[in-house]
Amino acid sequence: MAGAYWRATARSPSPAYVVPHRVSVSPGRPLWSTACRSLGHHAGKKSLLVNNIFVVSAAILFGFSRKAGSFEMIMLGRLLVGVNAGVSMNIQPMYLGESAPKELRGAVAMSSAIFTALGIVMGQVVGLR
């Protein structure tokens, strides 16, 4: 029912609505980034491998959402991508800092934050008209 309603009322959005949708934060990121400290201590390095389950299941939901005609699958997939991003952005620097040599530990641990900020800036620059 919801899929048929979605298709019947769908219209092409104006450019003012497209930009905030593309740059919005996935809803799961703030939720799960707060739980990463305990997850990193309990699961350790395996938590990055377990975290991939979220993004694989989100990809499956995205892939079958059109066939099922359900926009709810896209919303759930975005939640799972946000969970993956929240966990990986907090546990990855811990893992990199632990595995780097002592003289490079700070630079290696900060590289993920630097490249994330660089990616955001490049996305903003590319998005300009």
How crowded is residue 65: how many other Cβ atoms within 10 Å of its Cβ?
A: 18
pLDDT of residue 86: 82
Q: Which amino acid is at 22?
A: R
Torsion sign across C-alpha atoms 85, 86, 89, 91: negative
**How confident is the chain (129 residues) per 10-residue block, as mean pLDDT?**
57 49 54 60 73 91 89 89 84 83 88 89 88
pLDDT of residue 13: 52
pLDDT of residue 19: 43
Question: How far apart are alpha carbons 95 and 97 in whole angstroms?
Answer: 5
Question: How far apart are alpha carbons 32 and 79 in whole angstroms?
Answer: 10
pLDDT of residue 25: 54
